[in-house]
Amino acid sequence: MNKQSLRDIKREATANALADAAFALALEKGLDGFVVEDVVQRAGYSRRTFANYYSCKEEAVSMAAVIFNGADEVEAWIGSLNEDMTPLDILYQLMKLQLTGEHLWKLRQLLTLSKQNPTLEPYILSALRSLQITAQDVISDLSRGRYPDGYTHLLVGAVYGAVLPLLDGSMNVLLPGESAPEAPEAVTFDHYLDTMFDYLRKGF
C-alpha cells in the first residue's frame, strides 16, 4: 500500500470530520432536523469546504460508515503478510481487523436511518460499494496475480453480501460489545464470521 502524502492525510481528515459531524447530527436530530450549515459549524469548516467533499448532507452521513480508524494497524499487518496466504485467508483477517464494534454499529445505525429516510439509500449503497472496492483492491494487490480477477471479485462480493443481513437485523447476530441475555439463541459476530468462512472454504 502506498504511503499517503501529508496533503492526502489532511484531505482525509477533513472529509472524516465533516462526515462524523453529519452522522452525529442525524442520530441526534434525525435527517430532517439539521442542514449543511449545522454540519460545518459542528466540524469547524466552511460551507465551501463541505461542497469540495460532499454533494449533500445525505452523502456526508452515509460516508461516515466508511471511516475506519485502524488503518495503521491494517497497513502494519499487510506489511508482515506471508506471500503464500490465500485470498480467502487474507480477506478473513482483513474483515476481523476492519469490522470492529464501532464500525459495525455505525453501519447498523445507518441502515436504521435509511428505513426512516429513503433519500439516504442511494448514498448508503455507494458507501457500501466503496468499502467493497477497497477490499477488492487490497485482495488483488496482495494475491499478486496468482488468482483470476473473477475469483477475487466473487469472493469479496460473497462476504459483503453475507454481512448485510446482520446489519439490517434480519440475522440474530450480536455485534462486538453487545450482550443479549434475553436472546440466548443469538450468535456472536465472531461465530457468524467463522461460520461464513467455513462455508466458503468447505462448500455449502
Give me the mean pLDDT over the 86-95 stretch: 86
Domain 1-65 belongs in CATH node 2.60.120: no
Q: What is the pLDDT of residue 1?
A: 46
Cα angle at 19 between 17 and 22, to 5 degrees?
A: 110
Task: List every span in the chain annotated with CATH 1.10.357.
Answer: 68-204
Distance CA 61, CA 15 (A): 11
Helix (H) or strand (E) holding 172: none
Task: List every span in the chain annotated with CATH 1.10.10.
Answer: 1-65
Q: What is the pLDDT of residue 129?
A: 85
For the entire predicted model, the pTM comes to: 0.79
45-90: pLDDT as tens digits: 999 999 999 999 999 999 988 776 666 676 777 677 776 788 888 8
Q: Under CATH, which number does the domain 68-204 receive? A: 1.10.357
What is the grid cell recorded at 54? Answer: 460532499
Q: What is the pLDDT of residue 94?
A: 83
Handedness of CA 192, 198, 200, 204 (dihedral sign): negative
Average pLDDT, the chain: 85
